[in-house]
Amino acid sequence: MTDRPHDDHLVMRDILVSFNGFHAIEGFNFAVGRGELRCLIGPNGAGKTTALDLICGKIKVTAGNILFKGKSLNKLEEHQIAQAGIGRKFQVPSVFKELTMRENLEVAYCKSNSVLANAFRFGHRSEDDSFEKLAELVGLQDALDRSAGELSHGQTQWLEIALLLAQDPELILMDEPTAGMTHHETQKTAKLFNRLKGNHTLIVVEHDMGFVKEIGDVISVMHQGKMLAQGSVSEIEQNAAVKDAYLGSGGISGA
């Protein structure tokens, strides 16, 4: 990974995160190339979600540096990081329940973030068309004018993916995108992700190994706040350290 630094879209270097003295993440190094789809796995409490929180600015590093396109994110606020081109899907689906699905997409489609510019901005027909296409892509075309609070759990997951697509960030962070999805829906998600990679860089935290095998080229394994191993699916499955980390939980495929 380190031998092609000019290609790295996102780099995390010597990260330390300390919560009142407890080191949730320590000595963590991580790099993702442009257009890559990287799966981030690890046992519970390994620090996967914390790593995503760090990238999107929800948590600040205690020490170390996070570089996105060569620029440090350390001093930026959440909305500035989002403006730089990083989007996030949360573990618990969080959409705007009191707004309709169309309005949700309008919010996500952040063309201008200025208050005053947006005060003079009303609905556009061209946007409506693209929202309809997005809704069709995630199979929610009939729900566009229903309030998001009425959607089922699976539909809410899809809506959140649609929100990310509307936002169209360069780097997409996904926290357990298939949680609560049916097998069929998981496969549909895998197809979608395979289409996204190349144009977007994706970091996916996932427990479902079947899903990981379908989408992941390179897998990074975290354990106790550190990077344990990195490699292809078969390399990871053979790795002795990974086997140790998952000991007792039925191996990596049982996690």
Partner 1 sequence: MSRRTLIQLCVYGAVCLAILLVPTFVDNAFILNKYGRYLVFGILAIALSLSWGYTGILNLGQATCFGLGSYCMAMALKLRTVPVHTGSEGLPDFMVWNNVETLPWFWVPFHSLSFALIAGIAVPVLFAMLLGWFMFRGRITGVYVAIITLATMVVVNLLIIDQQRFTGGFNGITDLAQLEIMGFTFDAYGRSSYYLIAGTLTVCLFFALAVTKSKTGLIMQAIRDNEGRVRYFGYDVAFYKIFAFSVSAGIAGVAGMLYTIVMEFASPTFLGVSLSLSVVIWCAVGGRQSLLGAMLGAIFVTGMQGALSESEAFLDTWMLIMGFVFVLVVLLLPKGLAGAVEMLVDRLFKHEKPQSERTALSQAASQTGPAQ
**Residues 43-82 close enough to bind partner 1 by CB under 8 A:** 56, 77-79, 82
Q: Shortest distance, CB of residue 106 to partner 1, whole angstroms?
A: 6
CA 73 to chain centre: 17
Is residue 195 part of the contact set for partner 1 (CB under 8 A)?
no
**What CA–CA distance (Å, rounded) separates 165 from 68?**
20
Strands (DSSP E) along the chain, which ranges? Answer: 8-19, 22-33, 37-41, 63-68, 71-72, 86-89, 171-175, 201-205, 218-223, 226-231
Question: Nearest-CA neighbor of 30 among 14, 6, 7?
Answer: 14
Structure tokens at 249: 């939980």
Is residue 113 part of the contact set for partner 1 (CB under 8 A)?
yes
1 in Cβ contact with 11 (< 8 Å): no
Binding residue (CB under 8 A) for partner 1 from 103, 170, 214, 237: 103
Is residue 204 part of the contact set for partner 1 (CB under 8 A)?
no
Is residue 151 part of the contact set for partner 1 (CB under 8 A)?
yes
The residue count for binding partner 1 (CB under 8 A) is 45
Find the part of the chain contacting partner 1 (CB under 8 A) among 14-22, 34-42, 110-118, 207-215: 110-118
Is residue 238 part of the contact set for partner 1 (CB under 8 A)?
no
Question: Nearest-CA neighbor of 85 among 97, 71, 99?
Answer: 71
Binding residue (CB under 8 A) for partner 1 from 167, 178, 189, 220: 167
**What CA–CA distance (Å, rounded) separates 73 from 88?**
15
Long-range contacts of 107-114 (CB under 8 A, 24+ apart): 107/163, 108/163, 108/164, 108/166, 108/167, 109/166, 109/167, 110/82, 110/83, 110/167, 113/79, 113/83
Q: Shortest distance, CB of residue 27 to partner 1, whole angstroms?
A: 27
Q: Shortest distance, CB of residue 241 to partner 1, whole angstroms?
A: 34
Report the SS3 class of residue 96: coil
Find the part of the chain contacting partner 1 (CB under 8 A) among 10-18, 65-73, 91-99, 202-210: 91-99
Is residue 222 part of the contact set for partner 1 (CB under 8 A)?
no
Is residue 22 part of the contact set for partner 1 (CB under 8 A)?
no
Binding residue (CB under 8 A) for partner 1 from 115, 126, 240, 248: 115
Is residue 184 part of the contact set for partner 1 (CB under 8 A)?
yes
Is residue 175 part of the contact set for partner 1 (CB under 8 A)?
no
Report the SS3 class of residue 246: coil
What residues make contact with partner 1 under the rule CB under 8 A?
A: 56, 77-79, 82-83, 87-88, 90, 94-99, 103-104, 106-108, 110, 113, 115-116, 118-123, 142-143, 146, 150-155, 163, 167, 180, 182-184
